[in-house]
Amino acid sequence: MYNYIRKTIFFWGFLTAIPMAQESFQDTSLGSLESLLDMKICTAAKYSQTASQAPASVTIITADDIVAYGYQTLEDVIMYTRGFYTNNDRNYSYIGARGFGRPTDYNNRILLLINGHTINDNVYGSAPFGTEIALDLSTVERIEIVRGPGSALYGTGAMFAVVNIITKKGQTIDDLIISLKTGSYGKVIGSLTYGKECKNGMDLLISVIDGNINGQNLYYPEFDDPSTNYGTAVGLDQDKYYGLMTTLSYRSLSFQIFGTSREKEVPTAAWDVVFNASPSKTLDQWGHLEIKYNQPCGIDKNISFRSYYNRYYYKGWMVYDITQYDASTGEQIGGELQFSWDVIANNTLIMGTEYQTNTKVTYECWSDYETYFYKNKPSDAWALYIQDEYQLTENLCATFGIRHDGYSYGGNTTTPRGALVYRPFNSSALKLLYGESYRKATLYEMYYEDVFSGYKANLDLKPEKIFTDEIVWEQRVNKNITGVVSLYHYHMKNLIDQSIDADDSLKQYNNISKVTADGIELECNIRSQSGTEAFVNYAYQEAKDSKTKTRLTNSPNHLFKAGISQAIRGNLYVGGEFAYESERLTLKNTKTNSFALVNLNLRYSPSFTKYTNLAKINDKTEISFKVRNLFNNSYSLPAGLEHRQTSIRQDGRNYCFTLKLKF
């Protein structure tokens, strides 16, 4: 461990000691701090405002950040964001926030959006963050990460954060871009993006991506026996995915289509399947169509309407004495109407209504010989919400919002939020935040029953609820440096967990757990005019079961992350990241080891001028080389209940080479 720390310090010292680009070098690879602070976001309040004005703690990941650090997936982005942590069980990628990350929760307490459209499915409430979401990040303009409860605007699932991916306009792409990637584990990924703004003002973006990762042969000591190939799963780690993203806008009308499909081999023998047997895999598909109309009504009013169709499909292959299958299909049609009004110069009011009909919500389990379980539970949901932002004085703003959701089954819920944003100086903002949020019980939790496997349904499940208080101080130190301090407390009730009924010994989901948590988050960001970007953030989080006073599983107390990116000289750029995480408690009451990771990204752009989201991309060629886990640190993270393993080993050193061509 000493040698590893020594190598890390040496690497970090070397990277930060690289000579700064000469002052005469005016074309920077990163947007200025001024442009970042003035950037308008739309997630926190459903209308445009800067991050400092937003009634929430917000992080913006720009297109420049994605390029500078060589992020390949949304999981990469979240990994280095303040207060978040990740996990991968060789099947799905999981996101934890503020000390809460239930193993195998399928990210159903974080809401994921693309251009404001919810991606979480209507069967499990799951959100894809790894290769499950096949989206070329070079098409992303920014990612808005809004911490804390979001149900007052977005409804179910927005408990810990709302993550909104904003894609670029066609005029920003302004041509055809082909990207090819290759790397460790037999990785081959190709993508094609075309963007253009027509003379009549119509804007078009089309992006497709196709990827294949052969994977590794993986050893698990829990299966080290001659009958199970001495614990080595051979050829069971393949990852195949593809995706399509299209946006079209003309005047007040916009159209969006998104589809992603991922098939993943599962080497861990989860759910007690036969070890090292094929087929053992999962297939997940998300897709949606959305059409939106946005029309100003005079100078102080705006009305918008959107309608959409969502579809989710899952299928799993499980090898027992015979091969069994399970599958889910979710289909949803909905619409939302929103009205905003700048009532007076210092008062902004929004109100809206949303309706959804879940035409299909199924879960089934079968073999080639019989059907074990099938349930289809169509449902309807509607919502009303209102939010008012009032400028009480020149430097004090108050926001209050409330939303009511009604369901044809599962109960109705009302969730409020409130905020005071005080700006004693132009460079400072103090935010006092309160919010409530909820997660509705899923079809699987409420209705799954199979006496042969020992499960029974529970139709009386209540929604989970979270109540959060937070104080945020945002400070601009000078023209190059900003800082954030956040203190929060939350408590959760009606947490849905699996338990065993003493009367019949059957497993059942019940509202049995409560959680309390406290934490502090610190962050400093640097963006210089010479092209250097750096960040450092730290989070301390303490989440406990309210009844037993014991620490939550899969919940590290300490998270420390840092990064730096800058031009070395000419057209060569270097970026590096460092992450340290303390141990996590596993479901079997053991602890994983703490770990530290270092990543390195090198980028060469021969015809580089500017690469900011405020300017068009005019590179003809770009080459990058990303190395993750540079020092090949060995570490494992907690496994879910479906695994025999206590923890799952994560990837060692691996690399990705990218060639990007513009025509």
pLDDT grade for 13, boundaries at 50, 70 and 90: very low
CB atoms within 10 A of CB 401: 23
pLDDT at 476: 93
Give the three-class secondary structure for 78: helix
The arithmetic mean of pLDDT across residues 542-556, rounded, is 95
- Are 189 and 210 in contact by the 8 Å Cβ rule? The answer is yes
The mean predicted confidence, pLDDT, of the chain is 91
Write out pLDDT tens, residues 43-92.
Answer: 888 888 888 889 999 999 999 999 999 999 999 999 999 999 999 999 99
pLDDT grade for 606, boundaries at 50, 70 and 90: low
Residue 322 burial (10 A CB sphere; 0-12, 13-18, 19+): exposed
pLDDT at 5: 44
CB atoms within 10 A of CB 224: 12
Comparison of pLDDT for 132 and 662, the residue scoring more:
132
632: amino acid identity, one letter: N
pLDDT grade for 616, boundaries at 50, 70 and 90: very low
The percent of residues above 70 in pLDDT, for the chain, comes to: 92
CA distance 337 to 539: 38
Tokens 């698990």 sit at which residue? 220
Comparison of pLDDT for 116 and 29, the residue scoring more:
116
To which CATH superfamily is domain 2-662 assigned?
TonB-dependent receptor, beta-barrel domain (2.40.170.20)
Residue 38 has pLDDT above 80, yes or no: no
| 185 phi/psi in degrees, rounded to 5 | 65, 25
pLDDT grade for 18, boundaries at 50, 70 and 90: very low
pLDDT at 617: 42
Residue 11 has pLDDT above 80, yes or no: no
pLDDT at 588: 93
Write out pLDDT tens, residues 463-476.
Answer: 999 999 999 999 99
pLDDT at 24: 29
Give the three-class secondary structure for 62: strand
Residue 23 has pLDDT above 50, yes or no: no
DSSP, res 130:
S
The arithmetic mean of pLDDT across residues 649-658, rounded, is 97
Residue 612 has pLDDT above 90, yes or no: no
Residue 550 has pLDDT above 50, yes or no: yes
**Among positive and negative, which fits the CA dihedral 75, 435, 348, 412?**
positive
CA distance 179 to 200: 29
CA-to-CA dists, residue 333 to 112, 315, 410, angstroms: 18, 22, 19
CA-to-CA dists, residue 147 to 159, 380, 483, 486, 618, angstroms: 9, 28, 16, 11, 34
Write out pLDDT tens, residues 236-273.
Answer: 999 999 999 999 999 999 999 999 999 999 999 999 99
pLDDT at 299: 86
List helix spans (H) across 410-554.
Answer: 443-447
CA-to-CA dists, residue 248 to 266, 501, 585, angstroms: 37, 53, 47
Residue 613 has pLDDT above 80, yes or no: no
DSSP, res 322:
S
Domain ranges of the chain: 2-662
pLDDT at 17: 44
Tokens 């003309």 sit at which residue? 250
CA distance 109 to 284: 19
CB atoms within 10 A of CB 494: 18
CA distance 432 to 417: 11
Tokens 């294949």 sit at which residue? 212
The arithmetic mean of pLDDT across residues 276-303, rounded, is 95
Write out pLDDT tens, residues 100-119.
Answer: 999 899 999 999 999 999 99
SS (H, E, C) 162-197: EEEEEECCHHHHCEEEEEEEEEHHHEEEEEEEEEEE
Q: What is the dihedral of CA 28, 29, 34, 37, to 10 degrees?
A: 180
pLDDT at 589: 94
| Terminal C-alpha separation, the chain | 48
pLDDT at 620: 77
CA distance 329 to 314: 7
Q: What is the dihedral of CA 9, 13, 16, 20, to 10 degrees?
A: -170
Token pair, residue 319, equals 């090898």
pLDDT at 3: 52
Token pair, residue 270, equals 């989860």
CA distance 481 to 260: 38
CA distance 433 to 425: 19
pLDDT at 532: 87
CA-based angle 305:169:331, to the nearest 5? 45
The arithmetic mean of pLDDT across residues 588-614, rounded, is 78
pLDDT at 333: 98
SS (H, E, C) 614-635: CCCCCCCEEEEEEEECCCCCCC
Closest C-alpha to 31, from 481, 614, 617, 569:
614
The percent of residues above 90 in pLDDT, for the chain, comes to: 78
CA distance 125 to 496: 14
Query: 100-103: long-range contacts at Cβ-Cβ below 8 A with a sequence spacing of 24 or more?
Result: 100/160, 100/492, 100/515, 100/517, 100/543, 100/552, 100/555, 101/554, 101/555, 102/553, 102/554, 103/553, 103/554, 103/587, 103/638, 103/639, 103/640, 103/641
Residue 27 has pLDDT above 50, yes or no: no
**Among positive and negative, which fits the CA dihedral 418, 493, 456, 268?**
positive
List helix spans (H) across 28-157.
Answer: 33-38, 63-69, 74-79, 151-154
pLDDT grade for 410, boundaries at 50, 70 and 90: confident
Give the three-class secondary structure for 262: strand
Write out pLDDT tens, residues 492-536.
Answer: 999 998 888 888 888 899 998 999 999 999 999 998 877 789 999
pLDDT at 618: 47
